[in-house]
């Protein structure tokens, strides 16, 4: 039985274990170059997962927020909300690709892996002239309904 002095550490240890067991964060947005009035908006998607990314979609955050049924694979609403796949080819582990972003604003991202799972990364704030890297990690994978 642990001493009473050590019992306060139990929630911290349990929380750390759960974060590791659940795979940690799903993504991390890195700003390489701050926004500016000149220059093209650039988004690079970097695969730091253990799986192949077969698709990558971007949709305006507000459009995703108000859409119904956008998480149902193959639904009409999913296609209307997320549009076409933006990858030129599958993205292997530790590879990256540049993605064309039409305009600055708040965007949601949806990477889809080779197993048919997806991540939902909400509220990416991309500014004009900014250069960003979106690192995809192993946490947060979900199956379509």
Instruction: Assess if residue 14 is contained within a domain.
Output: no
What is the C-alpha separation between 126 and 1, in angstroms, rounded? 52
Q: What is the pLDDT along the chain (145 residues), one digit of tens a residue?
A: 444 444 333 333 333 333 334 456 789 999 998 877 677 899 999 999 999 999 999 999 999 999 876 667 677 888 889 999 999 999 999 999 999 898 999 999 999 999 989 999 999 999 999 999 999 999 989 987 6
Instruction: Assess if residue 5 is contained within a domain.
Output: no
What is the C-alpha separation between 20 and 92, in angstroms, rounded? 23
Could you list the beta-strand ranges (E) of 20-104: 27-33, 42-47, 53-60, 96-99
Token pair 């582990």 in the structure block, residue: 93
Six token digits for residue 64: 């995703």
> Which residues span the domain enclosing 41?
24-143
Instruction: Assess if residue 135 is contained within a domain.
Output: yes
Instruction: Assess if residue 1 is contained within a domain.
Output: no
What is the CATH classification number for the domain harbouring 31? 2.60.40
Structural domain count of the chain = 1
Check: CB of residue 120 under 8 Å from CB of residue 78. Answer: no
């Amino acid at each position: 039985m642990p001493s009473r002095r050590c019992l306060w550490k139990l929630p911290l240890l349990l929380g750390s274990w759960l974060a590791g067991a659940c795979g940690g964060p799903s993504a991390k947005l890195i700003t390489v170059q701050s926004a500016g009035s000149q220059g093209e908006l650039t988004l690079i998607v970097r695969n730091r997962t253990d799986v192949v990314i077969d698709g990558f979609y971007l949709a305006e955050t507000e459009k995703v927020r108000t859409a119904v049924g956008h998480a149902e694979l193959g639904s009409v609403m999913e296609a209307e909300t997320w549009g076409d796949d933006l990858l030129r080819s599958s993205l292997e582990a530790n590879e990256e690709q540049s993605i064309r972003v039409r305009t600055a604003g708040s965007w949601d991202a949806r990477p889809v892996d080779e197993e048919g799972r997806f991540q939902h990364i909400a509220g990416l704030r991309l500014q004009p002239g900014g250069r960003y890297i979106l690192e995809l990690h192993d946490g947060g994978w979900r199956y379509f309904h």
